[in-house]
Amino acid sequence: MGIERIKSIKDLPPEENVFSGTPACAGCGALLSLRLTLKALGRKIVIVNAAGCFTLLTIYPYTPFANSWLYTAMASAPAGAQGVRDALDILLEKGRLDPEEDLKVVVLTGDGAAYDIGLASTSGAIYRNLDFYYLCYDNEAYGNTGFQRSGATPFGSGTGTTPPGSVRPTGTELPKKDLFEIWRSHKPPYLATISPAYPVDLINKFKKAEQYKGPKLFIALSPCPPGWATDPSYTVKLAKLAVGTGVWALKEAVYGEVSHTIVPKKFKPVEEYLKEQGRFAHLFKPVRQEETLKKMQEMVDDYWKRHQLLL
């Protein structure tokens, strides 16, 4: 296929489409995911934002964006995207909008909206084959309200609503939902997981997605320094560890056909990733929770065995 793939970090599009000075936390992994995504998408886009951390990027009278933007509620950004896309198509069809003025429609959402409250409207938009991009910055909890358990929170993570205690020491007792597979069951043209630490992979996935009309999903595992209780400077390091340990599989699916884009040559132990983060600190101190740690490693191993990439 005639896609111009980039090869190194030096090939990243130089244009910055989300400007500095945002209220996002220092070291915000989601902001890095967004910045790279907008490098790929360019400025002729309209972002439809689900309520979440990034609702607060635009605060009157300031916006970090070079493109258009619309606030919607937490549950219905894909429905907002539907309205915007349909309206643009109507205006184009009726000759009321110059084709040069057309915009790509991009839903921007956190994991709380993507995995939980917005799932019905997301499912509806995929089902209707809406032509849009969907970027979920997944920091694995409701980050905007402090850090409470969402459907994206992994097994073993402490959060504000699943605090590890003396009776229930694990923290979150349920495994993370598989949003990729939820989407894949709808058979959209393009799905990908991305990482802010792998910008070349990220850009190339957007380049590839561009050729498909219909729903295009991107889930970016995005370290959250305050929620994960990590130093802001570790954001990229953690995003790399998530991939290196196999916790975050970088993959894509074209019309449902899955392929992994980056597979570690040798998987690091999951513990290397966990021990850096305050949200998992209770697994190591005051008592090492051996069973839980073992189970977390097994969950990762099972995934890669299932895909025959770990023998």
Partner 1 sequence: MLMLRVRFHGRGGQGAKVASRVLGTAAFLEGYYAQDFPLYGAERRGAPIAAFTRIADEPIMERGVISEPDVVIVMDKTLLRDHQAKPLSGLKKGGVIFINTPQSPEEARAEYTIAGQIITLDLTKICLDILQRTVISSLAGAVAAKIVGLSEASLKAAVEKVISEIVTDSVILEKNIEAALYCFHAIPAVELKTTEAVQMESRVFTMPFEPAAISSPALNTTGTTVLRKTGNWRVFRPVWDYDACNKCQICVARCPEGCILVNEEGFPYVDYENCKGCLICVEECPAKTLGKEREVHAKADSEEVIG
Partner 2 sequence: MKKEMLTGNAAAAWGVRLAEVDYIPAFPVTPQTEIIETLARWIADGDMASRFVTMDSEHSMITAAGAASATGVRAFTATSSQGLLYGFEMLYAVAGWRVPLVMVNVSRGLSAPITLETDHNDVLAARDSGFLQIHCETCQEVLDSILMAYRLVEDERVLLPIIVNMDGFYLSFTREPVEVPNLERVRNFLPPYQPKHAFFKASQPMAQSVTALGGSLYSYFKYQMHLGSQKALEVYKEVCVEFEKEFGRHYDTIEGYMLDDADYVLVMTNSFSTLGKAAVKRARARGIKAGLLRLRLLRPFPAENIQRALTGKRAVAVIDQNISVGKGGILHSDVASCLCNEKQRPLLFSFIGGLGGKNISPGEFEFIFTELIKAVAGEAVEPSQLLYTEEEWQEMVRLKRIAGKE
Considering only residues 51 through 90, tell me which ones interact with partner 2, judged by CB under 8 A.
55-56, 58-60, 63, 65-73, 75-76, 78-84, 86-90
Cβ proximity to partner 1, 57 vs 136, nearer residue? 57
Taken in order 9, 10, 11, 15, is the CA torsion positive or negative?
positive
Does position 29 interact with partner 1 (CB under 8 A)? The reply is yes
Q: Which does 25 bind (CB under 5 to 8 A by kind): partner 2, partner 1, none?
A: partner 1
Among 225, 244, 292, 297, binds partner 1 (CB under 8 A): 225
Cβ proximity to partner 2, 122 vs 235, nearer residue? 122
Does position 6 interact with partner 2 (CB under 8 A)? The reply is no
- Two structure tokens written together for 248: 């975050």
Query: DSSP H helical segments within the chain, as ranges?
Result: 29-41, 77-93, 111, 119-127, 179-184, 199-209, 225-228, 235-244, 270-274, 290-306
Does position 229 interact with partner 1 (CB under 8 A)? The reply is no
Site track 139-178 with partner 2 (rule: CB under 8 A), x = hit: ----------------------------------------
Question: Cβ distance 179 to 150 under 8 Å?
Answer: no
Nearest to 194 by CA among 133, 275, 150: 133
List strand residue ranges (DSSP E) for the chain, in order. 45-49, 68-71, 104-110, 132-138, 190-194, 215-221, 250-254, 257-262
Does position 97 interact with partner 2 (CB under 8 A)? The reply is yes
Does position 297 interact with partner 1 (CB under 8 A)? The reply is no
Does position 101 interact with partner 1 (CB under 8 A)? The reply is no
Those residues with Cβ within 8 angstroms of residue 185's Cβ, 6 or more apart along the chain or in another chain: none
Q: Which does 110 bind (CB under 5 to 8 A by kind): partner 1, partner 2, none?
A: none
Q: C-beta of 29: minimal distance to partner 1 in Å?
A: 7
- Two structure tokens written together for 287: 């008592």
Count other Cβ atoms within 10 Å, centred on residue 178. 14
Site track 174-203 with partner 1 (rule: CB under 8 A), x = hit: ----------------------x--x----
Q: C-beta of 288: minimal distance to partner 2 in Å?
A: 43
Query: DSSP H helical segments within 19-62, as ranges?
Result: 29-41
CA-to-CA distance for 130 and 68, rounded, in angstroms?
19
Those residues with Cβ within 8 angstroms of residue 269's Cβ, 6 or more apart along the chain or in another chain: 245, 297
CA-to-CA distance for 301 and 297, rounded, in angstroms?
6
CA-to-CA distance for 169 and 224, rounded, in angstroms?
22
Residues forming the site for partner 1 (CB under 8 A): 9-10, 12, 16, 18-29, 31-32, 35-36, 56-67, 196, 199, 225-226, 232-237
Residues forming the site for partner 2 (CB under 8 A): 43-44, 46, 48, 55-56, 58-60, 63, 65-73, 75-76, 78-84, 86-91, 94, 96-98, 100-103, 120-121, 123-124, 127-128
